[in-house]
Structure 1
Amino acid sequence: MKICIIAEGSYPYITGGVSSWIHSIITRMPEHQFIIYAIGAHSKQKGQYKYKLPANIVEVKEIFLDAYMYEEGEWGRRFRLTNSKKKDIRALLGGEGDVNWSNIFNLLRSNKFERVADFLSSKDYFDILEDICRTDFNLVPFTEMFWTVRSMILPLFLTIRHEVPQADLYHSVSTGYAGVVGALAKHVHEKPLILTEHGIYSREREEEIIKADWVKGYFKDLWIEYFYRLSSCAYESSDRVITLFSRNKEIEIELGCDPDKISIIPNGVNTEDYKDISAIPDDDIIRIGAVVRVVPIKDIKTMLQSFLIVKREVPNAELYIMGPIEEDDEYYSECLSMVKTLELEDVHFTGEVNIKDYLGRMDILLLTSISEGQPLAVLEGMACAKPFVTTNVGSCKELLTGLGDGIGPAGLVAPVMHYEQIGQALIQLSKDSNLREEMGRNGLERVQRHYKHKDFITSYRHLYQTLGGVRGWQESASS
């Protein structure tokens, strides 16, 4: 069978998390061929893979969302859109009503215009946008509205214009642009679509936009609704929607996903992979480790503030922040400045490392994200019998406390951005070696019982075979 995995902002450019998840599926299913449809943020990422691609990846198609910066169109043409297409464009731009995505796909992929920018410079588009301005943004200058909406939708429109490789089955690993590409693939090739949602993409974008300085206040709702519409496209088009835990399923239903489509397949780890990690050094240092990318959604700044509280009572504590630092250079610089301003000592940004070389040496593991799905970093830490302090995001509380499984807690949970409570939880564990050992044992037992990697792979293998079918695999092999 030939399976096209559609990934946004992850594999093969970034390690860990969703990327590790994708790599694991591909390497554990050598009987299938895979195409990677990789959606990156910046063209400079082209060909910069962080993984050695397995032999059963037969193609990598790369597109980059910053391509819109180079798109110019011819001003003032008219394309004589039908009323239904006008209605769908208006709905997509923030107007009322549902979007008929088939109309959007057919319009943007037609030969009516050579470039997307031609449409966005047309009289048809001006009329639609002017109507939205008069109705909902009558106090906003039209030029400001025009350039804001253009920057919002042009990357999407350019993405829709790209060709989608033929496959027996399509698998989007988020909503957003990846979800729309999956819906487009189903529309063009009439093949099944699976959607796996690790975190709730639209909720994550909403949190980012609310905090963003680059979006003016009166345009925040416009951007937020736009990402919810992209998610609706993926939910509507998917044949099956997979999430990782029950709370995410509830949110997807709230957002309009058909509950009959949704199944839960949790992540899994192979505890045998971690049985030979190094031991904790025999000294008086308390090592706190965080396996994270240094990006805003992981909230490294709250992590640093909580560690400042720890240092006041546990002066022998050290913090190891283990993960890529180059994804957001500005944020990394801000974190370094905070370390200096707070006069924090014993903070180590390791950059990208082999995590197994570090995990065994840690006394406590830490995660301070403002949004998560079911983080593999937590499962991997539990597989190493390490106690955790996490924020109450995604399935972290469920992972650490269980759902009535009779196993004790594997760590402590604190509210998002509450560095005082996070710090106090770290102090509690730092001062109680027996509690650390007990929680570590509980975590190991929980992953061994409920989060087996072989169960995760078996579930997806069955899902692929059920939807892709033997006939589709045989046709691909013969061609």
Structure 2
Amino acid sequence: MHIRLILKFCLNEGIEMRVCLIAEGAYPYVTGGVSSWIHSLITSMPETEFIIFAIAAERKQQGKFNYKLPSNLLAVHEVFLDTHLEKQAKWGKRFHLTPSQKQDLFALVSDDEPVNWESLFNLIRSKQFQNVDEFLSSKDYYDIVQHLAITKYRNVPYTELFWTVNSMILPLFTIIREDIPKADVYHAVSTGYAGIVGTLAKIIHQKPLLLTEHGIYSREREEEIIKANWVKGCFKDLWINYFYTLSSSIYSLADEVITLFRKNKEIQIELGCREEKIRIIPNGIEVSDYQNVIRTLPEDRIRIGAIVRVVPIKDIKMMIQMFALVEQKLPTAELFIMGPAEEDSDYYDECIQLVEVLGIQNIHFTGMVQIKDYIGNLDFLILTSISEGQPLAILEGFACSKPYVCTNVGGCQELIAGNEDPYGPAGYIVPVLDYEEMASYVLKLCENEQLRKQLGQNGFNRVNELYKRSAFIKSYKQIYARLGGETIGRNRIRTT
């Protein structure tokens, strides 16, 4: 754990409260998407103090922030999931757990019954669990895994099951033992580990808990695990059920749950969140921020853009395969993939190799850029993700009157086709992984300038009327005020 600490003299009479935003694998390490949303939320509420509880995969990310931290962001509390690798423990200790404690631990990995989260938190945060690795080397842990083996995994080598469960719960236990900064409202921006921290904060500090779910975290983990090579087939269900179990914690204890579009709400209800808790608040931007975006290059070729991180969940390989078909029929077309590639360097290398194997000439990986420097010269944009929430990248394109071709994930259908609004289609939707159908729509747009302009205008009208940042910020200000109230004193030094 590491805390970046900022001391502030809070002499501003407008300060109302302190909000702890809990994020996993996002702000302030990763740009775009959820991170951009968090940054926009903080910078748009200067009267509110924020703390970031940032969960990252590796300690090597410590302090490597990709955002200039706003003045009302008091601290970044950094937690790394690989911290446990530094610890050692002796084998064979007996913890003398009670039957109910054993049942709480078994429920966490068995998916047989709901987890008693408060009881489990109390156990893991107790003095006897000061060394988490010691428990995972204990006879009690051996008993739990043996019971799991007997009841569910008789045909699986015990040693493999033992280490699989160990790798699942060790990062979780490490997070649960973390100190939770004090705040007036806790706001998790996903379920999973962030949801666990939010649930823990609510139980420890007895403060309101808010969840905003952009994409459905457990569904995204399921998709990744199904495709993952690092998980053996016999253990895929174990991992998938585990992430659904983690998500259940915040669904049950959150005071309010925010989602971005109707389809997500239906999934949350299906996963056990009570409907009366859920409210839809879409993402938003201000089109005025893009009014000076202009074309600076000659209209001598078709330029296609993708505002996207180069990571597997964005399926850049499908994008490359699609563009190979486009380039064969339209050699003057160009594709600009605009976003960081450092997050998964192995995947980036695989994408470069695929470009070379397919003999593609006109794909440009720009890395991290100012989107406004590029988007004016683009004719339209694409998105090939296998999972999304409500992509800010699409809203950015619409703000510049650029149509989109994208896969049918998350809220893309509503953005492109509308939700019974009068604005008309703003592009095309294709099935996930179907690069041939996407190529056909991309070529259709390449060949018809008037169609591009009409679809782009439809997108602009939709975002200008229905997806305003001011409306999104106003909604969250109201939620924070309702949940937290004006509980913070004034005219004193603030620390965390």
TM-score (norm 1): 0.98
Q: 1:250 aligns with which of 258, 266, 280?
A: 266
Q: What pairs up with 1:53-132 in 2 under 5 angstroms?
A: 53-132=69-148
Which residue type is aligned with residue 301 of structure 1? K
**Alignment length (residue pairs):** 478
Q: 2:388 aligns with which of 360, 366, 372?
A: 372
1:350 is paired with a residue whose SS is strand
What is the distance in 2 between the residues matched to 1:475 and 1:244?
34
Which residue type is aligned with residue 144 of structure 2? I
Is 1:318 aligned to residue 334 of structure 2?
yes
Which residue type is aligned with residue 473 of structure 1? I
Which residue type is aligned with residue 248 of structure 1? N
Q: Kindly tell me: are residues 97 and 303 of structure 1, through their superposed partners in 2, closer, same or farther at Cα, counting changes over 3 Å?
A: same
Q: 1:449 aligns with which of 454, 465, 485?
A: 465
Q: Alpha-carbon deviation of 1:440?
A: 0.6
Is 1:386 aligned to residue 386 of structure 2?
no
Is 1:190 aligned to residue 209 of structure 2?
no
Q: For 1:36-77, what per-residue CA distance to the aligned partner results, in whole angstroms no more than 9, with x for missing partners?
A: 000001111000000000011111100011112223222111
Which residue type is aligned with residue 374 of structure 2? Y
Who is 2:309 aligned against?
A: 293
2:488 is paired with a residue whose SS is helix
Structure 2 gap segments, 5+ residues each:
1-16
Q: 2:489 aligns with which of 469, 474, 479?
A: 474
1:327 is paired with a residue whose SS is helix
Q: Kindly tell me: are residues 113 and 397 of structure 1, through their superposed partners in 2, closer, same or farther at Cα, counting changes over 3 Å?
A: closer
Q: What pairs up with 1:405-416 in 2 under 5 angstroms?
A: 405-416=421-432
What is the distance in 2 between the residues matched to 1:46 and 1:36?
14
What is the distance in 2 between the residues matched to 1:154 and 1:477?
39
Moved more, 193-202 or 403-412: 403-412
Q: For 1:299-355, what per-residue CA distance to the aligned partner results, in whole angstroms no more than 9, with x for missing partners?
A: 000000110111122111000000000000100000000000000011100000011
- % same residue: 57
Q: Alpha-carbon deviation of 1:473?
A: 2.8
What is the distance in 1 between the residues matched to 2:113 and 2:410?
31
1:263 is paired with a residue whose SS is strand
Q: Alpha-carbon deviation of 1:97?
A: 1.1
What is the distance in 2 between the residues matched to 1:282 and 1:365?
18
What is the distance in 2 between the residues matched to 1:381 and 1:197?
22
Q: What pairs up with 1:236-275 in 2 under 5 angstroms?
A: 236-275=252-291
Q: Kindly tell me: are residues 476 and 168 of structure 1, through their superposed partners in 2, closer, same or farther at Cα, counting changes over 3 Å?
A: farther
Who is 2:364 aligned against?
A: 348
Which residue type is aligned with residue 238 of structure 1? A
Q: What pairs up with 1:303-342 in 2 under 5 angstroms?
A: 303-342=319-358
Structure 1 stretches of 4+ with a deviation exceeding 4 A read 475-479
Q: Kindly tell me: are residues 164 and 476 of structure 1, through their superposed partners in 2, closer, same or farther at Cα, counting changes over 3 Å?
A: farther
TM-score (norm 2): 0.95
Q: Alpha-carbon deviation of 1:474?
A: 3.5
2:128 is paired with a residue whose SS is coil
What is the distance in 2 between the residues matched to 1:429 and 1:283?
15
Q: Alpha-carbon deviation of 1:280?
A: 5.9
Q: Alpha-carbon deviation of 1:476?
A: 10
Q: Alpha-carbon deviation of 1:113?
A: 3.2
1:302 is paired with a residue whose SS is helix
Who is 1:357 aligned against?
A: 373
Q: Kindly tell me: are residues 280 and 255 of structure 1, through their superposed partners in 2, closer, same or farther at Cα, counting changes over 3 Å?
A: farther
Which residue type is aligned with residue 223 of structure 1? W
Q: Alpha-carbon deviation of 1:478?
A: 8.4
1:349 is paired with a residue whose SS is strand
2:129 is paired with a residue whose SS is coil
What is the distance in 1 between the residues matched to 2:102 and 2:327?
60
The question of whether the paired residues in 1 share the 8 Å contact of 2:189 and 2:214 is answered with yes
Q: Kindly tell me: are residues 293 and 389 of structure 1, through their superposed partners in 2, closer, same or farther at Cα, counting changes over 3 Å?
A: same
Q: Kindly tell me: are residues 405 and 95 of structure 1, through their superposed partners in 2, closer, same or farther at Cα, counting changes over 3 Å?
A: closer
Which residue type is aligned with residue 361 of structure 2? E
Is 1:170 aligned to residue 186 of structure 2?
yes
Q: Which has the bigger relative contact order, CA under 8 A and spacing at least 6?
A: 2
Q: Once superposed, what is the RMSD of the aligned Cα atoms? A: 1.2
1:59 is paired with a residue whose SS is strand
1:18 is paired with a residue whose SS is helix
